């Protein structure tokens, strides 16, 4: 039951409540112009308390709550790479929301923090910051630590425009030129060119290809079994998620290149304890910096613009398949996406172009019923 007292020119309410741990505590709030105003909010607060609202944590720092949530729900449930991104978000919360408590947050203040963050970060980075933070605050809402969703529909800004989607993959002509150039440079002591060809031919992630052993390639069925990754200084590691474990079909030419590569490695006595496919004779497992440097040099020689990174080969591979008319479900499974909606979102630019191309065909197909 709430009690009310006038302090100076304003009113205050006081509510006694029982915490989930069974302890009795009091909640006070002042500054109301009239007793009626205080009573109206006190009644609403009592209803929330009866529904499970736990004000005991409302004064927690946002950073402290995020850290607890991150360790409870994300550690061990996501890959090490993804978890490090959550740790980056935690560092940014401590930097941009240093003394902000859960009770301080409103929709306006939340937008303000995002705007401040966006001044020195790209739009995509700001969006990830918001996505991580929103997930933790929705958890706080579910657990009745806060009462309102302050993260709903913010405006996501950025210091610089994100890289255009068209800049993330090569057109078909340049893609063919790149692969042809790599084939002309093949040397079994150096893995970069083989890795670039494999990336373009499979759409697999860099860490997935690096984790391939010769046992994962079946030359009888022309398939590659993606079942693990390789992390620098760590060794074998799990794939990004369960859907990333998959078997990819490869074409005869790619299989031929890899089969010859395996034989030449044996002749040159290039071997490693883990039986890794892509392994340099001198430096061992190749690094992303090394392969991206090689990729950049080839593109410069061929005057390919815009230049892409190794991950761009994955986008190029998927875009080529979609342009060739391969259905999006098959492309999604080949890429190891968790959900086809991810594929639709990432390759919306390609799908939009495909819709324009197929529009006349659709009309003709329907018009056939009148013949």
Together in a domain, 221 and 325: yes
Q: Is 152 inside any structural domain?
A: no
CATH for 72:
1.10.150.130
Residues 176 and 302 grouped into a single domain: yes
Structure-model confidence comparison of residues 253 and 48, the more confident one: 253
User: Does 207 or 1 have the greater pLDDT score?
Assistant: 207
Residues 207 and 274 in one domain: yes
CATH number of the CATH domain containing 334: 1.10.443.10
Whether 244 and 341 share a structural domain = yes
Q: What distance in Å separates the CA atoms of residue 209 and residue 334, rounded to the nearest whole number? A: 14
Q: What is the pLDDT of residue 247?
A: 97
The number of folded domains in the chain is 3
Residue 360 in domain = no
Whether 7 shows a pLDDT value over 60: the answer reads: yes
Give the rounded percent of residues in the chain with a pLDDT score beyond 70: 94
Tokens of 63: 């950073």
Residue 268, token pair as written in the block: 């040159």
The span from the CA of 6 to the CA of 21, in Å, is 32
Q: Is 28 strand, coil or helix?
A: strand
- Token pair belonging to 220: 């009888």
Closest CA to 277 of 342, 323, 326, 228: 228
Burial of 282 (0-12, 13-18, 19+ CB in 10 A): exposed
Reported in sequence order, the residue ranges of 75-137 that DSSP labels E, i.e. its strands, are none
The verdict on 91 and 221 lying in the same domain is no
- Euclidean distance between CA atoms 197 and 186, whole angstroms: 10
* Residue 254 scores a pLDDT above 90: yes
Higher pLDDT, 80 or 160: 80
| 302 and 348 fall within a common domain | yes
Same domain, yes or no: 138 and 172: no
In this predicted structure, what is the pLDDT of residue 164?
Answer: 52
Regarding whether 104 and 249 lie in a shared domain, the answer is no
Q: From CA 139, how far away is CA 145, in angstroms rounded? A: 9
- Please indicate, yes or no, whether residues 86 and 173 belong to a single structural domain of this protein: no
Say how far apart CA 248 and CA 334 lie, in whole Å. Answer: 6
pLDDT tens track for 281-320: 888 889 999 999 999 999 999 999 889 999 999 999 999 9
Give residue 148's pLDDT.
85
- How far is Cα 292 from Cα 300, in angstroms, rounded to an integer? 12
Answer with the one of 100, 127, 142 that is the final residue of a domain.
142
Q: What is the DSSP string of 44-60?
A: HHHHHHHTT--GGGTTS
Task: Calculate the average pLDDT of the chain.
Answer: 89
The answer to the question of residue 225 being in a domain is yes
More confident residue, 359 or 11: 11
204/318 Cα distance (integer angstroms)? 10
Residue 353: the pLDDT is 77
The answer to the question of residue 340 being in a domain is yes
Q: Using CA of residue 196, residue 198, residue 199, residue 201, what is the dihedral sign?
A: positive
Both 287 and 175 in a single domain? yes
Q: Where are the beta strands (DSSP E) in 232-276?
A: 235-237, 246-249
Task: Give the pLDDT confidence of 62-100 residue by residue, as tens digits.
Answer: 999 899 899 989 998 888 878 889 999 999 999 999 999
**Residue 161 belongs to some domain of the structure:** no
172 Cβ neighbours under 8 A, 6+ residues apart: 320, 323
pLDDT at 20 over 70: no
Q: Are residues 200 and 298 in the same domain?
A: yes
Taking only the tens place, the pLDDT of each residue in 102-128 is 988 999 999 999 999 999 998 888 999
pLDDT of 197: 98
- Which pLDDT tens digit goes with each residue over 179-232? 999 999 999 999 999 999 999 999 999 999 999 999 999 999 999 999 999 998
pLDDT tens string 259-284:
999 999 999 998 899 999 999 988 88
The answer to whether position 209 is within a domain reads yes
What pLDDT does 48 receive? Answer: 67
Is 256 domain-assigned?
Answer: yes
DSSP category for residue 243: G
Domain with 342, as residue range(s), is 168-354
**Residues 199, 328 share a domain:** yes
Average pLDDT over residues 314-335: 93
pLDDT at 345: 81
Q: How far is the C-alpha of 211 from the C-alpha of 285, rounded, in Å?
A: 9
């Amino acid at each position: 039951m709430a009690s009310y007292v006038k302090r100076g020119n304003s009113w205050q309410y006081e509510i006694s409540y029982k915490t989930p741990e069974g302890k009795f505590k009091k909640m006070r709030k002042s500054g109301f112009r009239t007793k009626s105003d205080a009573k109206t909010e006190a009644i609403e607060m009592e209803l929330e308390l009866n529904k499970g609202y736990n004000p005991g944590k409302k004064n927690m720092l946002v950073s402290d709550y995020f850290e607890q949530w991150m360790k409870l729900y994300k550690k061990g449930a996501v890959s090490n790479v993804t978890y490090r991104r959550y740790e980056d978000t935690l560092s940014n919360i401590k930097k941009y929301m240093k003394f902000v408590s859960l009770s301080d947050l409103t929709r306006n203040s939340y937008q303000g923090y995002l705007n401040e963050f966006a001044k020195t970060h790209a739009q995509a980075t700001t969006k990830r910051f918001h996505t991580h933070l929103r997930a933790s605050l929705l958890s706080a809402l579910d657990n009745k630590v806060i009462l309102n969703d302050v993260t709903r529909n913010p405006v996501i800004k950025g210091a610089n425009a994100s890289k255009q989607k068209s800049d993330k993959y090569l057109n078909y002509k340049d893609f063919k030129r790149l692969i042809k150039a790599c084939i002309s440079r093949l040397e079994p002591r150096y893995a970069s060119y083989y890795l670039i060809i494999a990336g373009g031919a499979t759409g697999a992630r860099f860490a997935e290809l690096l984790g391939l052993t010769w046992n994962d390639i079946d030359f009888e069925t022309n398939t590659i079994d993606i079942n693990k990754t390789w992390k620098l200084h760590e060794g074998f590691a799990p794939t990004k998620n369960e859907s990333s474990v998959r078997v990819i079909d490869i074409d005869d030419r790619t299989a031929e290149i890899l089969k010859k590569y395996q034989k030449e490695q044996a002749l040159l006595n290039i071997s490693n304890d883990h039986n890794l496919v892509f392994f340099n004779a001198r430096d061992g497992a190749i690094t992303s910096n090394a392969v991206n440097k090689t990729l950049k040099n080839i593109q410069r020689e061929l005057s390919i613009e815009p230049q892409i990174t190794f991950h761009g080969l994955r986008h190029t591979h998927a875009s080529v398949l979609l342009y060739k008319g391969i259905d999006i479900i098959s492309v999604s499974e080949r890429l190891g996406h968790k959900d086809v909606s991810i594929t639709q979102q990432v390759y919306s630019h390609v799908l939009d172009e495909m819709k324009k191309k197929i529009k006349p065909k659709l009309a003709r197909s329907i018009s056939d019923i009148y013949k």
